[in-house]
Structure 1
Amino acid sequence: MQPVHYDLAVITIIPGSSTAMTPFRSIAVFYHVARTQSVTAASEYLHVTPSAVSQQLRSLEEQIGTTLIVRSGRTVRLTEAGERYFELIAEDIEHIIKVTDQLRGTQAPTRLTIRATPTIATKWLLPRLDDFLTRFPGLEVRIDGSNEPTDFSRERVDIEIRHGTGRWTGLNVQPLVSERFLPVCSPSLAEAGSLCAADIIDYRLIHSVKAQIQWRTWFNRAGIKDEGFLRNLYFDRSHMSVDAAALGMGIALESNLMMSQEVLGAKLVIPVRNPPVMEICTQWLVCPHQSLRLPHVRHFIDWISEVARQWHQEQSKLFRQT
């Protein structure tokens, strides 16, 4: 959605009384503040000053007769009345903006901005994204590949696929996929099922340093005493670990989320017989609670949740012998 200017026209809504007139400008300002959870972000989006935004908010609260927003540090928080009001007006405001742009001949597609780590974006999301674009051709999608967690009060990101524990307060957080961590290597290095767990120590170990399950934990689960690793290769990006393993540079402990395509293509195999089962949810859908009321955000959540369910079914078949 492109920045929209409301300076020239004021639409009045008359709820049953000729003297009760609420300017659309104030309602639109409230909508953008509630959506971004920031007076500053809303002011930048609307190309007005933060003080002008605050003035419009005060005017609207006076007209309605209740507090809609309270400040909390750099961010703002909707009151219970503000939550309810935003829920009621969000779709109508978006429709008005769209129709106005149509009449002016400047309609731009609604933009959905998704943040994900470069590995998730490249290895998992991108191969499936065409289906989403086909289903929602009116959406303009931007993928923001970053390992930094989104500050939704300052950044124009609608939803994030976040790696971590899932414990982030003040945000809507829901699990996306569970990952199964397995040792993998090129078939030129070791054939599938040709090794026992203890044999791995004789090979170069590829470490993905930001993964939530590391080789030390895997060896402990396998019942192998940790005597230190003598041959190691470290990467701070999982996709680099996967690629290095596929090139025959060693054995990587990687998530099936990152390397299932390479396993399907026979570029990687699981060299260990009966490896320990280590599964954990590390990928989460994260967004402000207010964003759940935006149609394009709901469309993406519904779509990617269905994709995740299908992926889990495919993985159960692909790795059923491990």
Structure 2
Amino acid sequence: MSQLPPLLWLQAFESAARTLSFTAAGLELGVTQAAISQRIRLLEDRLGQKLFVRHPRSLTLTPAGQAWLPSIHDAFSRISEGTSEVFGATSERPVTLRATPIIQQSWLAPRLVALHRQKPHILLRLVSAIWPDDFGPEGADIEIRYGRGEWSGLEMLPLGDEQLLPVCSPALAGTLAAPEDLAGHTLLHAVGFGVGWPGWLQAAGVPHLEADCLSLSCDNQVMTLALASQGGGVALTHRRLLDQREDLVAPFDIDVPSDERFWLVRPSKRQVRVEANEVWEWLSSSL
């Protein structure tokens, strides 16, 4: 069993061999043409033989590829038949929705509850990602990303402008009457944001106060807000996210605009399934 190539490589070969196109295989499997090409190259390296002859505008199978393809077809057919026999035949496939954990908790969760009540026939699969690289080449039917929108090959809708402001527990907020009162307290940093504490302190008129504060950094906003809610310091968050929290308050009504924002995105060239389009339209209507 350990000698078998990874299933993703075999899927790429089967689809590309059937369509004689890396681009068509990518559309079928929901990944980029480059991802298919890479998987085929890794598969050929593993097997020690070329499977395709790459022409300028087309593909053909090598003799080895032609000889191997029937076995791959038979293997996938047996897997499909066995799955239907054990679990029942079904053509349903969930709509994969990928988002950062913080937007899942705050913005997405109530909308998905309403979606499920009105459209219970749609199967959903929710996947978490923090950084843009985490979204990866595999893709999802729909994603919610955070950034400046500088991604190619995607249809994008902004969730709106973003402003960041400090938040903390109600008890700690009671001791903070002005930005100067942050001195001696812990500033909770979520790394990777274009606008952070230096930008907010500048806007609040106390740019040098950071030197008088303690510091704690996390790689995601979920953790900074969790620490802030427990009295562990003061975090920056998006104003839209504060509306969904009862355990956090804003001690100052001073915010700073960000050129980054949350985006609803989906691949622009992939054929869209009916269910995935229903989810897209539902989320788009709530922007």
Q: So what's the TM-score if we normalise by structure 2? A: 0.66
**Is the counterpart of residue 162 in structure 1 residue 145 in structure 2?**
yes
* Amino acid in structure 1 at the alignment position of 2:239: N
**Is the counterpart of residue 217 in structure 1 residue 199 in structure 2?**
yes
What number of residue pairs does the alignment pair up? Answer: 232
* Amino acid in structure 2 at the alignment position of 1:204: T
Residue correspondence of structure 1 range 18-29 to structure 2 within 5 A? none
**Is the counterpart of residue 233 in structure 1 residue 207 in structure 2?**
no
Match of 2:27 among 24, 30, 34: 34
Q: Which residue of 1 aligns with 2:135?
A: 150
**Distance (Å, rounded) in 2 between the aligned partners of 1:27 and 1:229:** 64
Quick one: structure 1 residues 26 and 259, their matched pair in 2 at CA, closer, same or farther if it must change by over 3 Å?
same
**What is the DSSP-based 3-state SS (H/G/I as helix, E as strand, rest coil) of the residue aligned with 1:162?**
strand
2:242–2:249 contact (8 Å) kept in structure 1: no
**Is the counterpart of residue 275 in structure 1 residue 243 in structure 2?**
no
* Amino acid in structure 2 at the alignment position of 1:143: L
* Amino acid in structure 1 at the alignment position of 2:275: H
Unpaired segments of 5 or more residues in structure 2?
Answer: 1-10, 12-17, 45-49, 60-83
**What is the DSSP-based 3-state SS (H/G/I as helix, E as strand, rest coil) of the residue aligned with 1:115?**
strand
* Amino acid in structure 2 at the alignment position of 1:34: L
Q: Which residue of 2 aligns with 1:287?
A: 266
**What is the DSSP-based 3-state SS (H/G/I as helix, E as strand, rest coil) of the residue aligned with 2:158?**
strand
**What is the DSSP-based 3-state SS (H/G/I as helix, E as strand, rest coil) of the residue aligned with 1:110?**
coil
**Distance (Å, rounded) in 2 between the aligned partners of 1:302 and 1:255:** 24
* RMSD across aligned positions (CA): 3.7
Q: Which residue of 2 aligns with 1:138?
A: 121
**What is the DSSP-based 3-state SS (H/G/I as helix, E as strand, rest coil) of the residue aligned with 1:123?**
helix
1:115–1:145 contact (8 Å) kept in structure 2: yes
Quick one: structure 1 residues 247 and 289, their matched pair in 2 at CA, closer, same or farther if it must change by over 3 Å?
same
Quick one: structure 1 residues 219 and 161, their matched pair in 2 at CA, closer, same or farther if it must change by over 3 Å?
same
* Amino acid in structure 2 at the alignment position of 1:150: F
**What is the DSSP-based 3-state SS (H/G/I as helix, E as strand, rest coil) of the residue aligned with 2:106?**
helix
**Is the counterpart of residue 127 in structure 1 residue 110 in structure 2?**
yes
Percent identical among aligned pairs is 28
1:111–1:139 contact (8 Å) kept in structure 2: yes
Q: Which residue of 1 aligns with 2:187?
A: 205
* Amino acid in structure 2 at the alignment position of 1:139: I
**What is the DSSP-based 3-state SS (H/G/I as helix, E as strand, rest coil) of the residue aligned with 1:180?**
strand
TM-aligned CA deviation for residue 171 of structure 1: 2.5
TM-aligned CA deviation for residue 217 of structure 1: 0.6
1:33–1:41 contact (8 Å) kept in structure 2: yes
Match of 1:300 among 276, 279, 282: 279
